[in-house]
Structure 1
Amino acid sequence: MAGRRNHSACLLLRAKLLLVAATGATAQNNCSSAKFPAGRSFQRCTSLPVLGDSLHWTYHQANGTADVAFRVPQSTTGWVAWGINTERPVSIAGSSVFIASHSQDGNGGAVSVLATYLESTAPVLANNTLKLAVPVAPAAEYSGGAYTIYAMALRGGLLVGRVGTNPVNITVQNTVWRAGPLSGGRIAPHPTSAANLRSAQKLDFLSGNNRSAGAPNSRVHRRDLREFLG
């Protein structure tokens, strides 16, 4: 009798392990099933570890450019943001970000993109202040309960640099992303949940390798309380 119980317990444990493995594989492969409008396609993607986001991109090694699409579930009364911190990992401050939201001013609720540099823990959120060269204006859409931000052909300081006359591969970048509510048509602070505070990852646009940028400390928690004040 005891042998049967042990055998049943082993079978149950094995089933649970298989379920966990299958769930993890599904989460990793979710991004590959994403659909985009005609004329937009991407060679690589990664399912980001928190907030249900995914990042899609095509890196053009010949000229150091990348076409990027960031997709995240969100309501029409909220905003989403994705960007790159060229100064330090984990923190949102010091990042160049694209923030997508619906207009709340009664003009049809169009989706807009704010391209801004977060210079401090209480940024001004001025448009077109990125610390990255972006020759093509970003765009965004809302469909199926999710925002998608398109940042086309990021150049220069993002993916290729130079030391003297020698080109340098700097395709590994500190990527960051966030999601939060609108208040009175303005971008309001995001929740200080663990998901938002861990929304950072190092990504190699060339190889596709990624890893966590590190766990936020209490100082980062305090900074994020004041982020995106508008």
Structure 2
Amino acid sequence: MKMGSVLLFSVMLFILVAASNAQNCSSIAFSNGRRYGNCNSLPVLDSSIHWNYHQNNRTADIAYRHTQINSSNWVAWALNPTGSRMLGAQALVALVEAGGTVRPYTAPISSYTTGLQEGNLSFRVPSLNAEFVNDTQIIIYATIELPQGTATSFSHLWQHGDVSGTNLLQHPLTADHTSSRGTIDFAPEAAAAPPTTTTTTTTTTTTTNNCPPHSFSNGRTFSACNALPVLNSFLHWNYHDGNNSVDIAYRHTGVSRSNWVAWALNPTGNNMIGAQALVAFFNSSGELHAYTSPITSYTTLLQEGELSFRVPVISAEFIAGDQIIIYATLNLPAGATTFTQLWQHGPVSNGIPREHSTSGDNVRSIGNINFATGASTPAAAGGSRQRKRNVHGVLNVVSWGMLMPMGAMAARYLKVFKSANPAWFYIHVTCQASAYIVGVAGWGTGIKLGSDSVGVQHNVHRNIGITLFALGTLQVFALLLRPKPDHKYRFYWNIYHQAIGYAVISLSIANIFEGLDILDPEKKWKNAYIGVLIFLGVCVAVLEAFTWYLVIKRKRVDKQSHHVTNGVNGYQA
């Protein structure tokens, strides 16, 4: 009884610790008392960047921390002062050498087939060192002198790959490795300050510095820009106060000729329905076609049509082999400068735009834009929808994915202890009832999310969820028909009860992973749940072995006791 109780308590304690183990990048403790006032948890590759910016001499002390790697990996972090991609990036690199020492160095990137050869960067790096910590992370420390000028915002990239001998091999080309880039502003206090506005007779010029430099065709220039938070996109514009119009350039990178791209304003709402879109894609004739499309349905195929406001000019171009830019002039609705904006990309098949992905960044591409002030913030509706998705996930992981298996373990392993009867039954019922109640709440949030997202279908996840709810409800009502232990039908009821129970647990785990793929959170959350399952699995293995040990031991004792009793009564020679 004591061992089983301790193991069950350990399971619960581990789950509580795991749930509270989410660590913010600002809480990292560095060696030698180093401290940094700013940090960003980078969205992929388990990395974070920490820095102190010195405005008087335009230098930055940085710590680039790359976790979940080993001594046979190299890591790199780079700034690109002249572009937004790999070519032209100025990299800080570190790897663990054969003797166990960590070697940091600088490497300018001039080719996609680079071997990260050592060389001088386009800006000075007065200080550079690195360390290998806990056999799982490399931290690069450096002081860099930012490129001359006034810019403090740059494209940055981060990466890791394998080391073979003395050669640094090419990094993988999977999704996280090809999307490990973004924009960093070393002076966030300046970025947070109110934008500077200069007014002429017709145009308000709003200065924002959170986009990498870009040269547009035909000498076009735009005084304001926002780096959109997802889908590798940027919005550039000039706002004309006199007639409430705006010239925009929507730049969507990381796409191909078989993709469509779209950017939209919604003057009347905060979601997809009612959005007024600018669309561009290569049609069946091989021409890049730019047009307008009002969105009236979640199942839209982006049919061409007039918008609720005038678009006197629209055109598009495909450049650098991986980005589409839409240029347009919009006559904004009277008196309004702040709108919900949406941006998106998807595949083109047979000359027709097809549905975009309905998970990950493709469902987060929404925000608010103020053309007069330059302010760009996440949309309340998008945040609210994401919170509902997160709540749905947490409720179902805790209920179906944790409490339900723990309740089954209590019934399976505690009842072998005579002193645990009937306590094991009440623990089992408490865990399963709690799991069902919380699970129904999670199921309800899923139904609500589905009704709020007409046209967005996750059929496998939905069907498994409905099946789980039905089986869980069946289990609850089956308790009302539970025969007494000595009833002739109790044996068959036990078979039914256990079969349905194990089916629910198996389907629950499968559906949680299906939901994680849809929600697409940071990798650490999926890894955390995998860790919980591994821990539960180890506990099951240990408790199963111990249970069989007790059962066999008791059978031997009972047999010996029966043997002795018969001998005393004269049945043994």
SS at match of 2:64: strand
8 Å Cα contact 2:60-2:146 kept in structure 1:
no
Residue in structure 2 matched with residue 51 of structure 1 by the alignment: 45
Q: Kindly tell me: are residues 186 and 213 of structure 1, through their superposed partners in 2, closer, same or farther at Cα, counting changes over 3 Å?
A: farther
**In 1, distance between residues paired with 2:52 and 2:30?**
14
Residue in structure 2 matched with residue 131 of structure 1 by the alignment: 122
8 Å Cα contact 1:175-1:203 kept in structure 2:
yes
**In 2, distance between residues paired with 1:78 and 1:62?**
37
Give the letter aligned to residue 131 of structure 2.
E
Tell me the CA shift for residue 129 of structure 1: 1.9
Q: Kindly tell me: are residues 216 and 188 of structure 1, through their superposed partners in 2, closer, same or farther at Cα, counting changes over 3 Å?
A: same
Tell me the CA shift for residue 185 of structure 1: 2.8
8 Å Cα contact 1:118-1:124 kept in structure 2:
no
Give the letter aligned to residue 53 of structure 1.
S
Deviation per CA, 1:154-180, whole angstroms, max 9, x where unpaired?
Answer: 1151xx51xxxxxx2x00010100011
Superposed counterparts of 1:115-130, under 5 Å: 115-123=106-114, 125-130=116-121
**In 2, distance between residues paired with 1:146 and 1:124?**
22
Tell me the CA shift for residue 70 of structure 1: 0.3
**In 1, distance between residues paired with 2:178 and 2:146?**
29
**In 1, distance between residues paired with 2:36 and 2:176?**
26
In structure 2, which of residues 90, 94, 114 is the aligned counterpart of residue 96 of structure 1? 90
Residue in structure 1 matched with residue 152 of structure 2 by the alignment: 171
* Residue 191 (structure 1) aligned with residue 172 (structure 2): yes
Give the letter aligned to residue 55 of structure 1.
I
8 Å Cα contact 1:79-1:181 kept in structure 2:
yes
In structure 2, which of residues 70, 75, 83 is the aligned counterpart of residue 80 of structure 1? 75
SS at match of 2:188: coil
Tell me the CA shift for residue 125 of structure 1: 3.2
**In 1, distance between residues paired with 2:126 and 2:230?**
29
Residue in structure 2 matched with residue 216 of structure 1 by the alignment: 254
SS at match of 1:202: strand
Give the letter aligned to residue 129 of structure 2.
A
8 Å Cα contact 2:53-2:59 kept in structure 1:
yes
**In 1, distance between residues paired with 2:166 and 2:118?**
16
> Which of the two has greater strand per residue?
1
8 Å Cα contact 1:43-1:57 kept in structure 2:
yes
Deviation per CA, 1:30-49, whole angstroms, max 9, x where unpaired?
Answer: 20111101241111101000
**In 2, distance between residues paired with 1:213 and 1:171?**
23
* Residue 181 (structure 1) aligned with residue 181 (structure 2): no
> Which of the two has greater helix per residue?
2
Moved over 6 A (4+): none
SS at match of 1:38: helix
- Structure of larger gyration radius: 2
SS at match of 1:76: coil
Aligned length: 180
**In 1, distance between residues paired with 2:35 and 2:112?**
35
Tell me the CA shift for residue 194 of structure 1: 0.6
In structure 1, which of residues 103, 113, 123 is the aligned counterpart of residue 104 of structure 2? 113
In structure 2, which of residues 129, 132, 137 is the aligned counterpart of residue 142 of structure 1? 132
Q: Kindly tell me: are residues 53 and 156 of structure 1, through their superposed partners in 2, closer, same or farther at Cα, counting changes over 3 Å?
A: closer
* Residue 201 (structure 1) aligned with residue 182 (structure 2): yes
Tell me the CA shift for residue 98 of structure 1: 0.8
Q: Report which structure shows greater RCO (CA 8 Å, sep ≥6).
A: 1
**In 2, distance between residues paired with 1:69 and 1:148?**
6
**In 1, distance between residues paired with 2:166 and 2:185?**
35
Tell me the CA shift for residue 135 of structure 1: 2.0
SS at match of 1:101: strand
**In 2, distance between residues paired with 1:212 and 1:180?**
24
Residue in structure 2 matched with residue 14 of structure 1 by the alignment: none
8 Å Cα contact 2:64-2:139 kept in structure 1:
yes
8 Å Cα contact 2:77-2:92 kept in structure 1:
yes
8 Å Cα contact 1:72-1:147 kept in structure 2:
yes
Q: Which runs of 5+ in 1 are unaligned?
A: 1-22, 162-167, 221-230
